[in-house]
Amino acid sequence: MRAMVLPGPRARLRMDERADPIPGDGQIRVKVSACGVCRTDLHVVDGELPDIRYPIVPGHEIVGRIDLIGPVVTTHRLGDRVGIPWLGYTCGTCRFCREGMENLCDHPLFTGCTRDGGYATHAIADARYAFPLGEDGDDVAIAPLLCAGLIGWRSLVMAGHAKRLGIYGFGAAGHIVAQVAVWQGRSVYGFTRRGDIAAQDFARKLGAVWAGASDELPDAPLDAAVIYAPAGELVPAALRAVRKGGRVVCAGIHMSDIPSFPYNLLWEERQLLSVANLTRQDGLDFLKIAPQAGVRTETTVFALNEANEVLDRLRGGQILGAAVLRP
């Protein structure tokens, strides 16, 4: 197999030739057909997440077909098309797993961070954490749903029944969530980097009723806002934009420090929440809803050996929608 391997923090990925991996008990091997490039991959490359296992093969928005099955797997068959997300394993025994919060498991494994991911021709996965995808839809179009879509869905649920919803950062997650929110009958407000006219036009194209810079106030107070950009300064900006009793949901796995802000921005029962990982039920729910909502991902396809260049472009805000690698 071939894999783009990250040898250490802030290093460039290198192409390695490896022996094909063999799945163990409860595992499957997937021949990767598409792997989305997620902003979380940048945090892995930059060493900004805890317990990263180096060297590591990044990538956790994996679509492919099972080409080898390990012992004691009864839920999947050879040739099945599956999706492999960020959450790759949970212990099942800690308090959080027992109480239905496996996204907060004390002993998890994360695809492309603490176990090898999908920037490769093949990947090993725990069969319990591989979503059946059926045969409808294109592999490239589905790949971004497996993190940008899933985390986006969880954050949308946490935003409650907000009628006026602000989305800060109109990238892979933002452009997927906007489509679901519009389908649900919400009014979407898109916030982008100042001067990013293309992203603002993109937001309007997807149904946003307003689009502007992230330091602007919308034309009406928001019921809730979701922040996808990893910029801490957006927290007080979003709190300023939401009404009394409104919610601000921080959906990223990493964010720069939040600057101090006056208490009156939080007062009047505004709520500040964070999203951590996902549960398998989130995946099952969203993958059922996405086709009903008519979600269409905007994707740009790159070859596996272009992973470094893609990450550079993502860091610079030069990807509209989502980037996807094809081995």
Identify the residue whose tokens are 């869905």: 153
Contacts of 189 (CB under 8 A, 6+ apart): 164, 165, 166, 167, 208, 209, 210, 211, 218, 222
Whether the CB-CB separation of 64 and 119 falls below 8 Å is answered with no
What global pTM score does this model have? 0.94
Compute the distance between CA of residue 304 and CA of residue 327 in angstroms, rounded to an integer. 5
Query: 3-class SS at 103?
Result: helix
217 burial (CB, 10 Å; 0-12 / 13-18 / 19+) is exposed
20: Cα within 13 Å, side-chain hemisphere: 10
Whether the CB-CB separation of 59 and 117 falls below 8 Å is answered with yes
Compute the distance between CA of residue 46 and CA of residue 124 in angstroms, rounded to an integer. 24
Q: What is the pLDDT of residue 317?
A: 87
Compute the distance between CA of residue 237 and CA of residue 143 in angstroms, rounded to an integer. 31
pLDDT tens across the length of the chain (327 residues): 999 999 999 999 999 999 999 999 999 999 999 999 999 999 999 999 999 999 999 999 999 999 999 999 999 999 999 999 999 999 999 999 999 999 999 999 999 999 999 999 999 999 999 999 999 999 999 999 999 999 999 999 999 999 999 999 988 999 999 999 999 999 999 999 998 899 999 999 999 999 999 999 999 999 999 999 999 999 999 999 999 999 999 999 999 999 999 999 999 999 999 999 999 999 999 999 999 999 999 999 999 999 999 999 999 989 989 999 999
In the chain, % helix, strand, coil (3-state, to 5) comes to 30, 30, 45
Distance of CA 281 to the CA centre of its chain: 15
Whether the CB-CB separation of 258 and 248 falls below 8 Å is answered with no
**Does residue 55 have a cis peptide bond before it, meaning omega lies within 30 degrees of 0?**
yes
Compute the distance between CA of residue 325 and CA of residue 305 in angstroms, rounded to an integer. 9
Whether the CB-CB separation of 189 and 210 falls below 8 Å is answered with yes
Q: What is the pLDDT of residue 122?
A: 98
- Rounded to 10°, the helix 148-158/280-292 angle is 90
For the record, the structure tokens of 251 come out as: 């959906």
The number of helices, as runs of H, and strands, as runs of E, in the chain is 9, 17
Compute the distance between CA of residue 318 and CA of residue 171 in angstroms, rounded to an integer. 10
Whether the CB-CB separation of 124 and 27 falls below 8 Å is answered with yes
Compute the distance between CA of residue 26 and CA of residue 92 in angstroms, rounded to an integer. 14
Burial 241-265 (b: 16+ CB within 10 A, else e): bbeeebbbbbbbbebeeeeeeeeeb
Residues in the chain: 327
Q: Could you tell me the domains of the chain?
A: 2-135+297-326 (3.90.180.10), 149-274 (3.40.50.720)
Q: What is the pLDDT of residue 7?
A: 98
Please count the other Cβ atoms lying within 10 Å of the Cβ belonging to residue 141: 17
